[in-house]
Amino acid sequence: MTASHFKDPPKKSLGQHFLHERGIIDRIVKAVNPAPEDRLVEIGPGQGAITFPLLDVHGRLTVIEFDRDLIFPLTEAARAHGTLRVIHRNVLEVDFTALAGEEGPLRLVGNLPYNLSSPILFHALEHAAVIRDMTFMLQKEVVDRMAAGPGSKVYGRLSVMLQAWCRVTPLFNVPPGAFRPPPKVDSAVVRLVPRPAGEVGIDDPVRFADIVRDAFGQRRKTLRNALSRQCDAEAIDAAGIDPGTRAEQVPVDAFVRLANRLS
């Protein structure tokens, strides 16, 4: 019923791959499982594959869409499903804290553009205090990195930064054929739940981010060399970490411990 509203094909320049597989859509909606009082915000609704089913079960939804050509058809098609508020803006410019206001935390949902997934995740982290949870579809390789533990070949900066601030739970994989046009990679749906401030335990977020960035800047270097701009080997050892180890072997809580000692 809504397909006739959308005439334009996906735009390669914006990394658009529109989800169409109904079984996958239903699993995403079930994973979100919105309650009546929830404030749902969808990033990149595209042609409304997730938008309209969420509206059907929840009744109201805010979406953030950058593609001007999708605004009118989304708005028109949504009339049959519920109340849709459209924010026409680059999501990296959206202040989620201001959007939340005094009305309670946000629940973010979205099929994120693969070329912007990491910047969007880091942007959301800056507003973690007003976000209850995030259910995102991303490239499977990125989800694997997000959830990886120390010692894994894909454990890195993204793993540490996200796991320090959130509980990361991969939910299920999505094959290329579920999209139009099909991407060249597998996708996956993941849930991120921001940790309470007291559980995070990071004294200086900027210092923590600097240490993690430098530690993984050159993966073959030991921490003694990789963190030479941040501290000396004695400081690393004092935090209970072997200065001769590499970043990929260091658990998240050890990075937190080191950053707190240095700050």
Residues within the annotated binding site for S-adenosyl-L-methionine? Answer: 17, 19, 44, 65, 111
Q: Which residues does 256 contact at the CB level (< 8 Å), separation at least 6?
A: 164, 200, 201, 202, 208
Which tokens is 8 given? 């334009």
Count of Cβ atoms closer than 10 Å to residue 259 Cβ = 25
Distances (CA, A) of 244 to 81, 101, 230, 236, 253: 58, 46, 15, 10, 18
The one-letter code for the residue type at 242 is D
Give the β-pairing of 166-174 and 179-180: unpaired
Angstrom distance (rounded) from CA 33 to CA 15:
27
The annotation places the binding site at: 17, 19, 44, 65, 111
